[in-house]
Structures are given as C-alpha cells and as structure tokens.
Amino acid sequence: MSSPITSAVRFRPGDTVAGLDLTATPGFEGSKTDAAEVQATRSARLAELQEMLYAGWKAGGDHRNVLLVLQGMDASGKGGIVKHVVGAVNPMGVRYTAFGKPTEEELAHHYLWRIRRALPPAGHIGVFDRSHYEDVLVVRVNNLVPQEVWEKRYDEINAFERELVDGGTTLVKVALFISAEEQKKQLLERLDDPTKHWKYNPGDVDERLKWPAYQQAYQAVLDRTSTDYAPWHVVPANRRWYSRLAVTELLIEALEGLDLSYPPADFDIEAERRRLLDS
C-alpha cells in the first residue's frame, strides 16, 4: 500500500523550490520517535520487495529494474540515504555509483557515457549518488560549458530517461532540499568532529556561496525534466529521519508498482524432496 508521503512529495508543475518549508514532513504527521518505528517496518518491506525483484530476474527471467537518482546540495543527506535506506536491502542486488568530478577519460566522452556504463543490471536496484543532473547543475552554475551546450541537455535527458523507462527501468528521482542554515550546521559539525574531517571538502564552501544560482538551476531541473514517466520528488531534508522515510516509501511504491511475486519452482518439488531425503 502506498504511503501519503509519496504523493505529497511529488513535484507538480508550478511548485517552487524557493517557497519550500524544509523542516516540514509532508504526508507524515508523526514525531521522530514514531518515524523510527515506521522506518523499521517499512525497511523490512523494502528488503522483501527487493528480494522479489532479484529473484524474479535470477530465476524468472524478469528484466526490469529500478534506478534511484539522488540529487541534493552538499550535506543534504545523500550519504545517509545510501547508508540507512539502501543499506537495509541485500547488497547483492544493489548497484551503487557516486558521480564526482568527471575524470579526463569521462570528459573525453559525451556526458551520458559514464551514466550509461553505471546503469543497473536487470533485477537490481541502481543508486546514483549524484547523476547526469550534475551536467545541468554544477556545470550550469559554474559555466563549465557554454549555455547553448547545457541548454540542450534537458531535452536530451528526457529522451534518455524515456529510453530507460521503455527498456524496463522504473526511475525514482529524488531531490533532497536542506536550508542554507542547516547546511552550515552540518558542515560545522564535520569540522568539529575529527571522525568527520574526511567528509569535509573546502570546495563545498565555494559552492555554498552560489546558493541562489543552485536554487535556480534546481528549479530548472524540476520544471524541465519532471515527466509523467520519470517524475521528480522534492523531499525536505532538514529532518533526516523524514527524508529517509520518504525515500523508503518512494522505493516501496516503485517496487510495488511492478507487481512482483516470487517465481515458481522450475523443478519437481516432491521429486527433489525425495531425492534429498534419500541422499
């Protein structure tokens, strides 16, 4: 059964990033403590569905898969989603890829080249920690290519995603939004804690200074690439317990939409039982 959260976070034409309440918990009325309880139950459901997806491919020849696309500013909680939400399912059936600054080899190719190489195999859940959307976010904000080049990418991305969906992929696109204040708090925590220094990147402060340009670039992404076949979900992420629950619900909804079931045995169960007992 789908949760009220999934429809509450679905991007609708006309929604604006600027007006978002980032401490809100759309579709969920409980407290952090309530959420912990729900999270445990729903993580178990997610794990069960993922196993069915995997089994359906491994033993049933089902070639469908799911791709979670995670976007968000630094410290918006992408890593926590990977650790806590994706971490609740069997890693055997997950293909995780983080997209950082392109390497020289990647830059020598079309920007979708590295994306295509990272697409999940059949039966798997792919996780993109940043994605092809960086090519219209960081690239646009920093003028890494001329405007006439990045302008064309929105339509190109829509066509690419259409192709993925037609090939049997269910896309779950999530944009995590935190406030500038919350980001400052999170980055300060990284500085204050020696066990988090590895997460601190001085370059994050430079990007932070371009906050309004990023807001604009995110708005353009939502306006131009939220399609009926691959809609965006706008998830307020100041409260991490909420954003984790929201992504869990979105993945559950995507998997339930596939109407999965365990594949039937392709052998004679009784004959096998006898053979085993006699062995």
- Per CB under 6 A, residues contacting ligand ATP are 74, 78-79, 98-102, 130, 134-135, 138-139, 144, 201
C-beta separation of 68 from 125 below 8 A: yes
- Report the residue number, 100 or 146, with the smaller CB distance to ligand ATP: 100
Smallest separation, CB 200 to ligand ATP (Å): 8
Smallest separation, CB 114 to ligand ATP (Å): 8
Give the integer Cα–Cα distance in Å for 94 and 178: 26
- Report the residue number, 45 or 208, with the smaller CB distance to ligand ATP: 208
C-beta separation of 183 from 189 below 8 A: no
Give the integer Cα–Cα distance in Å for 115 and 109: 11
- Report the residue number, 124 or 153, with the smaller CB distance to ligand ATP: 153
- Report the residue number, 24 or 220, with the smaller CB distance to ligand ATP: 220
Smallest separation, CB 198 to ligand ATP (Å): 9
Smallest separation, CB 137 to ligand ATP (Å): 7
Smallest separation, CB 210 to ligand ATP (Å): 11
- Report the residue number, 81 or 260, with the smaller CB distance to ligand ATP: 81
- Residue, CB closest to ligand ATP: 100
Smallest separation, CB 138 to ligand ATP (Å): 4
Give the integer Cα–Cα distance in Å for 208 and 27: 29
Per the structure block, which two tokens stand in for 9?
């976070």
Give the integer Cα–Cα distance in Å for 116 and 106: 12
C-beta separation of 1 from 223 below 8 A: no
- Report the residue number, 42 or 132, with the smaller CB distance to ligand ATP: 132
Smallest separation, CB 97 to ligand ATP (Å): 11
* DSSP alpha helix (H) spans, the chain: 4-8, 32-58, 78-80, 104-107, 113-117, 138-141, 147-151, 153-166, 180-192, 203-208, 211-225, 240-256, 269-277
User: Does residue 125 sit in helix, strand or coil?
Assistant: strand
Q: Looking at beta carbons, which pairs linking 150-159 to residues 24 or more positions away fall under 8 Å?
A: 153/111, 154/220, 154/221, 154/224, 154/225, 156/112, 157/132, 157/133, 157/225, 158/224, 158/225, 158/227, 158/230
- Report the residue number, 33 or 143, with the smaller CB distance to ligand ATP: 143
